[in-house]
Amino acid sequence: MTIWTDIDRHLVRYAGPGEFSPDIIDRAAGSFLFTEDGRRILDFTSGQMSAILGHSHPEIVATVQRQIGILDHLFSGMLSRPVVDLARRLADTLPEPLEKVLLLTTGAESNEAAIRMAKLVTGKHEIVSFARSWHGMTQAAANATYSAGRKGYGPAGPGNFAIPAPNTYRPDFTDADGELDWQRQLDFGFDLIDAQSVGSLAACIVEPILSSGGILEPPAGYLSALQQKCREREMLLIIDEAQTGLCRTGSWYAFERDGVVPDILTLSKTLGAGLPIAAVITSAEIEAAAHDRDYLFFTTHVSDPLVAAVGNTVLDVLIRHRLDERSAKLGVFLRQGLDTLADRHPIVGDIRGRGLLVGLELVANGADQLGARVTRRCLELGLHMNIVQLPGMGGVFRIAPPLTATEDELSLGLEILDRALADIA
C-alpha cells in the first residue's frame, strides 16, 4: 500500500473541485519545500499566504522551542505576558484609536468575532461585503464570503448583501475614457443596499486588496469613499488584512495608502508567519460599548501564550529587518520581471497588486483551464503557484513569496513561470 491509498481512503477532500497536490511534502526551509522523493519546490504562495518569514525561520523555531517548555496553553480567562506584550506592540504599529486587541486563532474566527462585535455594538444585523470577497468558512464569515462556497449549504443568515468589487482591468461602470468609474459603481452598489436593507445596517467588511477575488486593488480614494458611505448609514467599517497586513504590500497595513482608519481591523495569516494566531483590533470606545452589552467570544484558544510569543517574534523580525521597505523594493523587482513576461507572452493580460502580493491574469480563450495547466507545469518544474478561477474572469495567479525571499529566488520563480507559459501556450 502507498500513502496515496491511505489518502484516498481516509482523507476528506475539502477544496471543492480542487485536488490535493501530487507531492508529499517532507520538510521546508526558507523559500523552499522539499518532497519525500527529494524534489525542491520554490514556494511562491508563502504556504497558505501566511509564511511571510519563510519556512522554519530560526527565530520562530527558537521561540516555539522555548515557549512550549514554559507556557503553552491556559484557561481562556487567564492572561500571560506574551499576550499582553503582543497586544501593546500591535497597537503601537497602528494609528489611533486602534488600541484594544483580542487574540484568536484563525482569520475566519477573527472576522466572526469582529462581525459579532459590530452587531452587538450597533444593535443591528445587516452586513455588506464585496461580491468577490473571501472572509472565511465559519458561519458569519462564510455569509460575508461571495467568491466561493455559497451553493448547497442552505440559506445564509438574513441581512447579508454584496456590492460590486472594483476591477480596473474588467470595469463594469466606465467613464468617457473607458476606465473604471468606481464612484458611480460604489453609488450604485449602495443604492441597491439601501433598497434591500430593512434599516439594520451594522457593518461593511472588506479586504483592502481582494486576494481570492483575483488580486483586485481598489483605486486610490475608494476606501475613503466607502468609509463615508458607512458613516452616512451609521455602519462600522471592518477591514480584513489577513493577507495584506504586516508589511506584505510594502507598508505595515494596506489601508494606510488611503488614509482611512477602520473601526475594526482583523489580522491573521501573516501575524503568525504560518502558525495559527489572529487578532481583532478596535477602539476603546467600541470595546467599552461591546463590554457593556456583555460581548462574548470565549474560545478554547483565545489569548494562548504559545502563539502570542510567536507573534512577538514576528514583530521583532519585521521591525529589525525593515521588511516593509524590503517588500516594497522586492515588489518592484518582481513587478518588472512579470511585466517582461507579459510582453513576451500574449496570453498574459494584466499584472496588478502591491508589494509582494501580485496578480497575473491570463486572457486567452479557456484561460481558466489554461491556468490550471500552467500551474501543473510550474509544479513539475519546481515552482508552487496558485490560480484563482472565477466566473467572468480569466485565470489569475496569486503570487505572494515570503518577504525574506532573495532576488535570486524571485528570478528563479520568474524563469520557471516563463518556461511554463511557453510550454503550455
Task: Check if the beta carbon of residue 240 is closer than 8 Å to that of residue 134.
Answer: no
Of 109, 112, 207, 361, which is the active-site residue? 207
Of 269, 326, 352, 354, which is the active-site residue? 269
Task: Check if the beta carbon of residue 277 is closer than 8 Å to that of residue 312.
Answer: no
Active site residue 257: no
Active site residue 269: yes
Of 124, 352, 354, 398, which is the active-site residue? 398
Sheet with 201-206, edge to edge strand ranges? 98-104, 278-283, 264-267, 236-240, 201-206, 126-130, 160-163
Task: Check if the beta carbon of residue 266 is closer than 8 Å to that of residue 245.
Answer: no
What is the C-alpha to C-alpha distance for residues 278 and 87, in angstroms, rounded to an integer?
Answer: 11
Active site residue 398: yes
Of 43, 100, 132, 134, which is the active-site residue? 134
Of 240, 241, 263, 350, which is the active-site residue? 240
Amino acid residing at 260: V
Active site residue 243: yes
End-to-end CA distance of the chain: 37
Active site residue 40: no
Report the phi/psi class of residue 310: left, alpha or beta, with left for phi > 0 and alpha for psi in -120 to 50: alpha
Q: Which three cell numbers stand for residue 328?
A: 516594497
Q: Which three cell numbers stand for residue 1?
A: 500500500
Helix (H) / strand (E) element for 29: namely strand 25-29
Of 109, 241, 243, 361, which is the active-site residue? 243
Catalytic residue IDs: 134, 207, 240, 243, 269, 398
